[in-house]
Amino acid sequence: DTAVSQTPKYLVTQMGNDKSIKCEQNLGHDTMYWYKQDSKKFLKIMFSYNNKELIINETVPNRFSPKSPDKAHLNLHINSLELGDSAVYFCASSQDVGLETQYFGPGTRLLVL
Amino acid sequence: RKEVEQDPGPFNVPEGATVAFNCTYSNSASQSFFWYRQDCRKEPKLLMSVYSSGNEDGRFTAQLNRASQYISLLIRDSKLSDSATYLCVVNGLYNNNDMRFGAGTRLTVKP
C-alpha cells in the first residue's frame, strides 16, 4: 500500500564510490521530484520530472544524474560521492506540476565516510 | 531576502496553548501556499493548503496576507502530538513547476 517508496532506506559508503537510490510511486502521478535535506534540515529541490521529462534541474553537481525509466519511477545516481553529499534524500510525487500536493517517500539516509 | 523564510524556533509551549507561526516569501507573484508537517526522522506530509480567504481545519487556521507577503499558521489547544517541525511551502516562485520549502519551525508541546 506504500504510495511512494524508496530504496535503500540507509546507505553508508566511502568517498569516491558511485551509488544509486531508487524511487517508485503507485499513485498514478505524472510528476516526480528529488529533494535533499541537509544536517540543518533545510529541504531543497534537486530535480523534477513530468511524464519522464526533466522540468527542473536545480544547480546541483553533475555527479548527480536522475533517470526516469517510466512515469512511476525516478532513480538518482550519484558518482564520485563526497563527504558533503551526506544528507537525507527524499523522493516525492504529485498529480501534475506546480500547484499540487506532493507526497513524499520515507527518505534515504546517505552517509559518506 | 530569502525566498521563503521562517522563524526556526524552537517554540516550546504547554498543552492547551495557542501558538502561531509566520512565514514570509519574496516573490509577489507566488500563487500557491502550503503548510507541511515533518516529524523527527520522517518525511514531510501536507498539513493544509493556504487559500486567499484563509481556511480552517479543526484546531488549525491558515492565513495569507498577499500585501505583506506572508502566510501564518495558528494552532489552538495544542496537543502533545502537535510536536513536529512545520514547513512553509511556496510555489510558483519562478514557474508552476517550482516548490520552495522554508527551513521549518520546530514546535514542542509539553505536558
| pLDDT band, very low/low/confident/very high, at B79 (cuts 50, 70, 90) | very high
CB-based contact, A106 to chain B, within 8 Å:
yes
Q: What is the pLDDT of residues B47-70, one digit of tens each?
A: 999 988 889 999 999 999 999 999
Does B97 have pLDDT greater than 80? no
Give the number of beta-carbon pairs within 8 Å between A and B.
56
Find chain A residues with C-beta within 8 A of B49's C-beta.
Answer: 101
Residue B1 confidence (pLDDT): 66
Which of residues B6 and B52 earns the better pLDDT score?
A: B6
Q: What is the pLDDT of residues A45-101, one digit of tens each?
A: 898 888 888 877 777 889 999 999 999 999 999 999 999 999 999 999 998 776 678
Burial class (CB in 10 A: 0-12, 13-18, 19+), A30: middle
State what percent of residues in chain B have pLDDT above 90: 72
| pLDDT band, very low/low/confident/very high, at B96 (cuts 50, 70, 90) | low
CB-based contact, B100 to chain A, within 8 Å:
yes
Residue A40 confidence (pLDDT): 78
Find chain A residues with C-beta within 8 A of B104's C-beta.
Answer: 41-43
Distance CA A104, CA B89 (A): 14
Find chain A residues with C-beta within 8 A of B87's C-beta.
Answer: 43
Residue B92 confidence (pLDDT): 65
Q: What is the mean pLDDT of residues B27-42?
A: 90
Does B6 have pLDDT greater than 70? yes
Q: A88 and A37 in contact (C-beta within 8 Å)?
A: yes
Distance CA A25, CA A65 (A): 19
Residues 6+ apart with CB under 8 A from B93: B3, B25, B26, B27, B29, B30, B100
Q: A25 and A3 in contact (C-beta within 8 Å)?
A: yes
Please name the residue of chain B whose CA is at the shortest distance from the CA of residue A87: B41
Q: What is the mean pLDDT of residues A21-37?
A: 94
Residue A96 confidence (pLDDT): 78
| DSSP SS3 for A101 | coil
Does B95 have pLDDT greater than 70? no
Residue A79 confidence (pLDDT): 96
Residue B93 confidence (pLDDT): 64
DSSP states of A41-100? --EEEEEEEETTEEEEE-S--TTEEEEEEETTEEEEEE-S--GGG-EEEEEEEESSSSSS
